[in-house]
Amino acid sequence: MSVRQSLLAILDQGPCYGYQLRAEFDRRTGSTWPLNVGQIYNTLERLERDGLVAKGDVNDQGHVYYEITDAGHSAVQDWLGSPVERAQGTRDELAIKLAVAATLPGVDVTAVIRSQRKASLVQLQALNRAKYAGTDPNGPEDLAWSLVVDSMIFAAEAEVRWLDHTEQRLAQHPQHTMTLALSTERPKRGRPAKARA
């Protein structure tokens, strides 16, 4: 997720100082992605360096307000108008863990899957309870929060479905046929052996 672009989009609504930006980000995301103030100010410094925001007025408490520039406004429009590109390949720890576990001798992959499914279902139940804990289902803050929670619910449901699919798929193969021994073929790349004198 682009914290940078999100903060810039909030600044497109009007000047804000750092703590105010953090509060606005939390309001709009249901506090599901906690940001620390240092991260906010570092991001503001980079946005200023890149000409997307400029320092504005300072209030009585010494808060420096940041204002979006024309270039910043254009960047927000580009971001909002562009699809989010998903990375190719996976860096999903669970997918990698199960792929490796399925090829190791002596690993009860079914137990690994069941343990993860139990944790995923607990998370899914907590998300579903949280979804209905809002105060005003028609209010803009609760709507923003529920959109984020819905995304998390759909991801958790997809994870449970994928775990079910993986368990069924692995059940079709005896464990010993899936085991991979260490390869005896030497990789073509790597650090060459030192010549002995």
pLDDT digits (tens, 9 = 90+) for 153-165: 999 999 999 999 9
Q: How many CA atoms lie within 13 A of 112 on its CB side?
A: 17
| Fold of the CATH domain 3-81 | Arc Repressor Mutant, subunit A (1.10.10)
* Alpha helix (H) residue ranges in 85-139: 93-102, 109-131
pLDDT of 138 > 80? The answer is: no
pLDDT of residue 177: 64
Which pLDDT tens digit goes with each residue over 84-132?
Answer: 877 776 677 888 888 888 887 888 889 999 999 999 999 999 988 887 7
Contacts of 42 (CB under 8 A, 6+ apart): none
CA nearest neighbour of 26 among 16, 15, 36: 36
| Bridge partner residues of 55 (DSSP) | 66
Q: For residue range 25-34, list pLDDT tens digits in order.
A: 888 887 777 8
Domain assignments of the chain as residue spans, ordered by start: 3-81, 93-178
**Cα separations (Å) of 146 from 1, 41, 56, 127?**
17, 27, 34, 10
What are the Cα distances from residue 166, in Å, to 17, 46, 171? 48, 43, 8
Report the predicted TM-score, pTM, of the whole model to 2 decimal places: 0.67
